[in-house]
Amino acid sequence: MVSKKKSINLSISDISNKLEKAKEMIGKIVVGQEIIVENVLLSMICDGHILLEGAPGLAKTLLVRTLADVFDLEFSRVQFTPDLMPSDITGVSVYQPNDGTFKFNKGPIFTNLLLADEINRAPPKTQAAMLESMQERQVSAENSIYPLPKPFLVLATQNPIEQEGTYPLPEAQVDRFMFKVIVDYPKEDEEVEIVKRYTSGINPYDLLKTLDTVITQDEIIIIQQTVREKIRLSEELMQYIVKLTQTTRESEEVTMGASPRASLWLAIASKAHALLQGRDYVNPGDIQRVARDVLRHRVSVSPEWQFEGIDADAIITRVLQNIEVPSI
């Protein structure tokens, strides 16, 4: 007898409680960085990729490993280097002498959670190999298409300071990321706790074994559907989102403003934030909370204005201040 797969029913409050529990579990391993943790959770339930930018030693890798354990996900890590080839990520066809055929050996991208560490160190050809996978959730090789597992999420890291030996990501690839999140240094008390905790013989990676799975893979799919289908976004707030995005294109300091894809992700991310708060509707605060992380990598500032100290965040802040917020 074939057993029927048990259906999963999750209410808005059930999901909100599970996500809060996930944040608590991650907090047992990662000290501080509450906003970063929340953004990673949002990207997960939005089914969107995330680019983490920050200096080395800020626990970006540890955060991703912890996320994989809390969500019961398969995890792969690829260290991007100048000699990394596309096949090192996607896989390669290997000749089988027994029957004269080729067998496709899947690469590390065939996972649920891919950590692309220092992605800007790989050459453009290798970076381009990620594009199809990130957008289409599949890999094309030898005239065949191989679907990626569900869920599939890329968390890429890059160092904003070190420029030697790096290849800046092209706009087409940067736009594939839902969020670009700036990982800042911890607060003083948090850094003291890090030093206290990890100089007392505690290995943070050993602590991963103590974590409980809070959300299963099947539940992630349900939550992703809930974000899109059951969280309400009013017509007025849709217009507000589009106005924010379009206004980024009108500034004289900007060479390229946010694309329509930014409007889509801003809407979805706002829904996810509302769900995280236990609501089935979006309010203006949800939009304002995620706007910078959705827009900053989609706004290119002219070099002359960069010299004056103007960056994408400054322009987005001004846009948020100047656009009238709908009353709902």
Q: What average pLDDT does the chain have?
A: 85
For residue 51, give the 3-state DSSP assignment.
strand
Q: Where do the H-state alpha helices sit in 104-234?
A: 124-136, 171-174, 188-198, 204-207, 217-230
Amino acid at 73: L
* Residue 46 buriedness (CB in 10 A; 0-12 / 13-18 / 19+): buried
How far is the C-alpha of 157 from the C-alpha of 144, rounded, in Å? 30
| Confidence band, pLDDT 50/70/90 cuts, at residue 161 | low
| Confidence band, pLDDT 50/70/90 cuts, at residue 304 | confident
| Confidence band, pLDDT 50/70/90 cuts, at residue 239 | very high
| Confidence band, pLDDT 50/70/90 cuts, at residue 3 | very low
- Phi, psi at 229, each rounded to 5°: -100, -25
Return the pLDDT at 162.
56
Return the pLDDT at 1.
42
Q: Which CATH superfamily is domain 231-328 in?
A: Magnesium chelatase subunit I, C-Terminal domain (1.10.8.80)
Classified by CATH at the fold level, domain 8-222 comes out as Rossmann fold (3.40.50)
Q: What is the pLDDT of residues 33-76, one digit of tens each?
A: 788 888 889 998 999 999 988 777 677 778 888 888 888 888 88
Q: Is the pLDDT of residue 2 over 50?
A: no
Q: What is the pLDDT of residues 269-286, one digit of tens each?
A: 999 999 999 999 999 999
Average pLDDT over residues 79-95: 86
Q: Where are the domains of the chain?
A: 8-222, 231-328
Q: What pairing do the DSSP bridges indicate for beta strands 138-141 and 113-117?
A: unpaired
168-172, 212-216, 323-327: range with lowest mean pLDDT: 168-172
Q: What is the DSSP string of 241-286?
A: HHHHHHHTTS-TTEEE---HHHHHHHHHHHHHHHHHTT-SB--HHH
The pTM of the full predicted model, rounded to 2 decimals, is 0.86
